[in-house]
Copies of this chain bind each other. A is one copy, B any other.
Amino acid sequence: MLTLHHLNDSRSQRILWLLEELGTPYEMRRYQRDVETRLAPPELKEVHPLGKSPVITDGDRTIAESGAIVDYIIRSYGKDAMMPPPGSADYEAYNEWLHYAEGSAMLPLMLNLYVGRLKEAGAPLHPRIDSELANHLGYVDRALQGREFFVGASLTGADIQMSFVGEMAKVFGRLGPYRNLAAWLERMHARPAFQRSVAKGGPYRFA
């Protein structure tokens, strides 16, 4: 049985959402952030040496890293749903979004988070952070122009993987100019499977 090691208010929310979309049987073990430091608890290091979430175990396999987990679950349990056929042009776009979310789009958002803690002292970095946020969020927003989903005509792992980018942009108050992205995020959060994932995973501050 696949086990999701779920940390509250984290990237593992999207794995829980994916499992609910697919109807894959799974077990969930819940971990809570330290209330003061917001760091993951040390128990997660017993699952994977990085001590982070999401991480899944499935038989003798342990897989960390959101993009790799989304890809693994859809390939293994998706029954050809939620991904374009391998070899198609859509497949390459799909795979690019899987990598792009954490590989590129999250960097300016995480810089904004960390450098924001410096208050005024971080001011010299904000022009660059802001221009990168505009570059990435503008790109994502244009990619969603006239589209309901990132790839093809139905929900795929690309939507799942990109959800955290939309959520962080929203949390930081950066969604304003990006109406396609904002509307897409609302559609995703309205999905019954997403709602179930919040009901089962516990409060999610980014929903």
Contact = CB atoms under 8 A, between A and B. Distances in A.
Task: Determine which residue in A89, A110, A114, A124 has the highest number of CB atoms from chain B within 10 A of its CB, and name it.
Answer: A114
Copies in the complex: 2
Instruction: Provide the main secondary structure of the chain A interface.
Output: helix
A30 interface: no
Interface string A9-51: 0000000000000000000000000000000000000000111
Interface stretch (A90-98, A168-176, A195-203): A90-98
B122 A68 contact: no
Given A118-B122, A135-B50, A104 B102 contact: yes
Contact of A98 (B68, B107, B121, B136): B68
Interface in A57-78: 60-61, 63-68, 71-72
Interface in A85-119: 89, 92, 95-96, 98-100, 102-104, 106-107, 110-111, 114-115, 117-118
